[in-house]
Structure 1
Amino acid sequence: MTVIAVLADPPRQGVGYPDLAETSPLSEAEASELYEAVLRDTVRAVDRSGGDLLVNYPTEEMLPERARGEGSPEADLRAVVADTLGDFESVRFEPQVGSTVSARAGNTTTHLLREEGARSVAVVTPTAPFLTRQVIDAAAMKLRSMSTVLGPSSRGRCYYAGFTEAIDFTDAFAGSSVQTIAERTRDVGGDVEFIRSLPTIRTGSDLLDVVPLLRARFAAERVVPEYTATFVHEHGLATREVDGDLELVRE
């Protein structure tokens, strides 16, 4: 089975989606609330898949000073996972190691592959609300014959990066990560495969992709990410065209 490492921040203001409040109608508190909703949908999807869930959390020192609280990041995340899954005895919690997202993802992946003998490891973050059990399991099938499997998103990002062999992870998750990781895989003689593209959330402009798709799936009576959908409904998020441009609004 693939170990799915979810690189997760505690749902506190100033982390998770730090740029969302400045680029959308959401406040910092609401941006943190949305991050928690996507985090819940992510861990639920991984838990329902054939993968093993590993929550990779930052230490308190890794957080911006204003985001440090009385409890530990691990305790905060354990509380969210417990409330989401109920029985979470099989979920692993491990601290992140490294000064950047790329270093933390690389250290976790390399350790699991080389030190723990994991057959495959995937890295995800709570940014892709439409990540589902079916997507995760489809990626796991491809990892049986490919060294790297990527889930592309907008602006060169990837929402899923699965590996059976370690690569050079230096700055691999910065900038156009889907291109960089593919090139690094080929540099070490590996093969790359892709799963379907999904939108991710980082700034307000990303919600222009997420919100209409979410509302469309709801209108079509298709499965939607429960916690993210509830947030969008309760906060009245919608889009409308203004002078030829799509804008995020509150109904």
Structure 2
Amino acid sequence: MTVIAVFADPPRPGLVLPRLAESSPLSPAEAADLYAATLKDTVRAVERSGGELLVNYRDEESIPEGHDGDQQAEAEVRALVTDALADPGEARFEVQVGSTVSARAGNTVSHLLEEEEVQSAAVAPGTAPMLTRKEIDSAAMKLRRNEVVLGPSESGRVHFAGFTETIDFEDAYATPEVETLATRAADAGHEVGFLPANTTVETGADLASLVAVLNARISAGRAVPEHTTTLLREWGLRVADGEDGPELVRE
């Protein structure tokens, strides 16, 4: 069984998805609402898979000044996860440890593999709504033949990184993440497998790609992530030709 750590922040305006609010028609508050929706869909996909869900949340002490909430960070994240899962009691919650994404991923993966002695451990951001049960289970199969399995995303990012052995995690998520992680794995003598590319939402361009795919899947009668799709359809977002190419518009 693979333990999948989903990195989660409290969905506060300005704290989550700041680049999305700057590069799309969404306000900071709407970007925070979208983050909450993508996090719900991400953890639901893990729950439905054969993996074990570990929610790595950002605690109050690690949140920059000016981003206070009405509740403690843990309570906000727990409320979202509880609302998303059929059986919230199956989820584990642990505080993120580390000052960077690389450090947090390294601490989590190393602890799971070396201290808890799990067979495989993976990290996914809470902004990967297109992650599915099928893909997670496929990654688990690939991890039987490869020490590292990566799921590429836009701009060289990753939406999934699985491990059966550790790597040098110092700055391992440096841009481009997928290349840096693969190089670190190869340097350690590990075999690297890959999943199909999938969207993670950080910018307006990412969201435009996601909206087009979701609308296409709806037209074709295919499955879509419930919370994310419902919100985007409520906002009436679509992709249209703009002066500089495709852009997001609201109906």
Give SS of 2:123's match: strand
Residue 249 of structure 2 is matched in structure 1 by 249
Residue 46 of structure 1 is matched in structure 2 by 46
Matches within 5 A, 1:25-174: 25-174=25-174
Q: In the TM superposition, what is the alpha-carbon distance from 1:86 to its structure 2 partner?
A: 4.2
Q: In the TM superposition, what is the alpha-carbon distance from 1:220 to its structure 2 partner?
A: 0.4
Residue 179 of structure 1 is matched in structure 2 by 179
Partners of 1:154 and 1:226 lie apart in 2 by 22
Which segment drifts farther, 130-139 or 200-209? Answer: 200-209
Which one-letter code corresponds to 2:195 in the other structure? I
Residue 12 of structure 1 is matched in structure 2 by 12
Which one-letter code corresponds to 2:198 in the other structure? L
Which one-letter code corresponds to 2:91 in the other structure? V
Q: Deviations over 1:52-95 (max 9, x none)?
A: 00000112121121222242211111111111114211210000
Q: In the TM superposition, what is the alpha-carbon distance from 1:15 to its structure 2 partner?
A: 2.1
Q: In the TM superposition, what is the alpha-carbon distance from 1:244 to its structure 2 partner?
A: 6.1
Partners of 1:231 and 1:98 lie apart in 2 by 32
Which one-letter code corresponds to 2:128 in the other structure? A
Partners of 1:174 and 1:248 lie apart in 2 by 28
What RMSD in Å do the two structures reach over aligned CA positions?
Answer: 1.0
Which one-letter code corresponds to 2:55 in the other structure? V
Give SS of 1:19's match: helix
Gaps of 5+ in 1: none
Q: Give aligned-pair identity as a percent.
A: 57
Partners of 2:245 and 2:140 lie apart in 1 by 39
Partners of 2:34 and 2:214 lie apart in 1 by 14
Partners of 1:19 and 1:243 lie apart in 2 by 21
Contact 1:7 1:123 in 2 (8 A): yes
Contact 1:9 1:73 in 2 (8 A): yes
Q: In the TM superposition, what is the alpha-carbon distance from 1:174 to its structure 2 partner?
A: 2.6
Which one-letter code corresponds to 1:213 in the other structure? V
Contact 1:139 1:149 in 2 (8 A): yes
Q: Deviations over 1:146-196 (max 9, x none)?
A: 100000112111110000011011111131010001010111110000011
Partners of 2:242 and 2:156 lie apart in 1 by 27
Which one-letter code corresponds to 1:52 in the other structure? E
TM-score, length-scaled by structure 1: 0.97
Q: In the TM superposition, what is the alpha-carbon distance from 1:127 to its structure 2 partner?
A: 1.8
- Answering whether residue 235 of structure 2 is matched by residue 231 of structure 1, we say no
Residue 222 of structure 1 is matched in structure 2 by 222
Give SS of 1:166's match: coil
Contact 1:14 1:64 in 2 (8 A): no
Partners of 1:62 and 1:72 lie apart in 2 by 12
Which segment drifts farther, 152-161 or 59-68? Answer: 59-68
Residue 199 of structure 2 is matched in structure 1 by 199
Greater than 6 Å deviation, 4+ residue runs: none
Q: How many residues align?
A: 251
Contact 1:124 1:161 in 2 (8 A): yes
TM-score, length-scaled by structure 2: 0.97
Partners of 2:149 and 2:86 lie apart in 1 by 30
Give SS of 2:29's match: helix
Which one-letter code corresponds to 1:150 in the other structure? L
Partners of 2:242 and 2:185 lie apart in 1 by 43
Give SS of 2:122's match: strand
